[in-house]
C-alpha cells in the first residue's frame, strides 16, 4: 500500500504554494475580524458604563439579587405564554389553512366563501393585534351572550388566533400559488381531480416552500401572546409588571426579556437554517 490513493493526485509545488498563501490570508482575515469586534463592542460597552446615569440604571434594571427573587413568578407567567402558544398554533394552522384554501379556490359554488375569506384577511391583517385583543377581550363579554365565556385568557387567546390566522393564511396562499401550473397540469392529466391534485401535489410542495416564513410567524406569535397581559392575564409580562410595581425596580422586565430570548433565539436560528436550506434547494432546481 502506498500513501497516494489512486484518485488523489499529489498536488504540484505551485498548488502547495497557493494553499500556503490562502492559509496566510485566512489567518489575517480572522485577526482583523477579531480586533475590529473587540474595538467596536468595547467602545459601546465603555460608552454605556461611563455614562452619567449608569449607576442608577444598573440599580433599577440590573439588580441581579432582586432578579433571582422574582424569577419564579415571571417563569410561572412564561409557562402560560408557552401553553397559549401551543394551543394557538394548532387553531391557527387549521383556521389559516382553511382561509388559504378558500381564497385560492376557483369553484363557482365557493364564491361566497372566497369573498368572506378575503374580507376576513383584509380586516384582521389591517387592525393592530393589540386593538383586536382589547375589542374581543372587553367587547365580547359586554355583549352578554349566553354560553359565551368571559374568561380573559380564552378571549385574549382567541383574539391572537383570529389575527394570526389572517397572517398565516396569506403565507400559505403565497406558497400554494408559487407551485408551477405545470405540476397541476401533470396531475390532472393523470386523471386526478382538482381536490386530489391540491391534496397530493400542490399543498405538499406549497407548504414546504413557506416553512421559513411560518417559523417566523411562530416566533412572533410566542412574543405576541404577551399582549394579552393588557386584559389582566398573568403571563410573563404581567408578572414582571406586578413585581416591578411592588418595588419600583425594573429588573423583572429584564428577567422577562431574557426568558423570552432563551426561547426565541434558538427558534430564529432554526428558522435561519431552514431558510438557507430552502434557498439552496430552489437554486439547485433551477440548475437542472
Per-residue contact flags (x/-) with other proteins for residues 208 to 247, judged by CB under 8 A = x---------------------------------------
Among 31-39, 63-71, 192-200, 239-247, which window interacts with other proteins (CB under 8 A)? 192-200
151 or 183: CB nearest other proteins = 183
Which position among 93, 192, 230, 234 is part of the footprint of other proteins (CB under 8 A)?
192
Which position among 57, 185, 262, 280 is part of the footprint of other proteins (CB under 8 A)?
185
Among 160-168, 199-207, 214-222, 229-237, which window interacts with other proteins (CB under 8 A)? 199-207
Read off the C-alpha cell for 172: 400559505
75 or 274: CB nearest other proteins = 274
CB of 208 to other proteins, least distance (A): 7
For cell 467596536, the residue is 40
Q: Strand, helix or coil at 8?
A: coil
Total binding residues toward other proteins, as defined by CB under 8 A:
20
For cell 431574557, the residue is 258
By the rule CB under 8 A, 191 interacts with other proteins: yes
Comparing CA positions, the residue from 280, 286, 91, 96 lying closest to residue 174 is 96
* Distances 14 to 4, 5, 279 between C-alpha atoms, Å: 18, 20, 36
Q: Please, what is the Cα angle at 79 between 90 and 159, to 5 degrees?
A: 45
Comparing CA positions, the residue from 237, 246, 255 lying closest to residue 156 is 237
Query: Which helix H or strand E contains 109, and what residues bound it?
Result: none
Per-residue contact flags (x/-) with other proteins for residues 256 to 285, judged by CB under 8 A = ----------------------------xx
CB of 194 to other proteins, least distance (A): 8
By the rule CB under 8 A, 108 interacts with other proteins: no
17 or 281: CB nearest other proteins = 281
Alpha helices in the chain (DSSP H): 13-50, 54-61, 64-104, 111-126, 129-143, 152-178, 181-189, 194-197, 203-209, 211-224, 236-247, 251-287
Contacts of 63 (CB under 8 A, 6+ apart): 249, 251
For cell 397581559, the residue is 229
Among 32-40, 197-205, 236-244, 247-255, which window interacts with other proteins (CB under 8 A)? 197-205
Among 105-113, 165-173, 193-201, 221-229, which window interacts with other proteins (CB under 8 A)? 193-201
Binding site for other proteins (CB under 8 A): 182-183, 185-193, 196, 200-201, 204-205, 208, 284-285, 288
Amino acid at each position: 500500500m502506498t500513501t497516494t490513493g489512486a484518485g488523489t493526485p499529489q498536488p504540484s509545488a505551485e498548488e502547495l504554494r497557493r494553499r500556503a498563501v490562502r492559509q496566510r490570508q485566512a489567518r489575517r482575515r480572522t485577526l482583523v475580524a477579531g480586533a475590529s469586534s473587540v474595538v467596536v463592542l468595547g467602545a459601546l460597552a465603555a460608552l454605556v458604563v461611563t455614562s452619567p446615569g449608569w449607576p442608577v440604571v444598573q440599580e433599577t434594571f440590573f439588580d441581579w439579587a432582586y432578579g433571582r427573587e422574582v424569577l419564579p413568578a415571571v417563569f410561572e407567567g412564561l409557562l402560560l405564554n408557552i401553553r397559549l402558544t401551543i394551543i394557538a398554533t394548532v387553531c391557527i394552522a387549521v383556521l389559516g389553512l382553511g382561509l388559504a384554501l378558500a381564497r385560492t379556490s376557483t369553484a363557482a359554488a365557493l364564491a361566497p366563501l372566497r369573498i368572506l375569506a378575503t374580507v376576513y384577511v383584509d380586516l384582521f391583517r389591517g387592525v393592530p393585534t393589540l386593538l383586536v385583543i382589547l375589542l374581543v377581550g372587553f367587547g365580547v363579554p359586554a355583549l352578554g351572550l349566553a354560553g359565551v365565556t368571559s374568561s380573559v385568557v380564552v378571549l385574549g387567546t382567541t383574539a391572537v388566533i383570529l389575527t394570526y390566522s389572517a397572517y398565516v393564511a396569506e403565507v400559505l396562499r403565497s406558497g400554494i400559488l408559487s407551485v408551477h401550473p405545470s405540476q397541476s397540469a401533470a396531475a390532472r392529466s393523470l386523471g386526478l381531480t382538482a381536490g386530489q391534485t391540491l391534496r397530493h401535489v400542490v399543498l405538499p410542495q406549497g407548504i414546504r416552500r413557506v416553512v421559513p416564513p411560518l417559523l417566523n410567524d411562530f416566533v412572533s406569535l410566542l412574543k405576541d401572546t404577551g399582549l394579552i397581559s393588557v386584559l389582566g392575564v398573568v403571563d410573563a409580562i404581567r408578572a414582571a409588571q406586578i413585581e416591578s410595581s411592588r418595588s419600583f425596580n425594573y429588573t423583572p422586565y429584564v428577567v422577562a426579556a431574557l426568558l423570552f430570548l432563551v426561547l426565541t433565539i434558538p427558534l430564529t436560528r432554526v428558522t435561519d437554517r431552514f431558510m438557507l436550506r430552502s434557498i439552496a434547494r430552489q437554486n439547485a432546481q433551477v440548475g437542472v
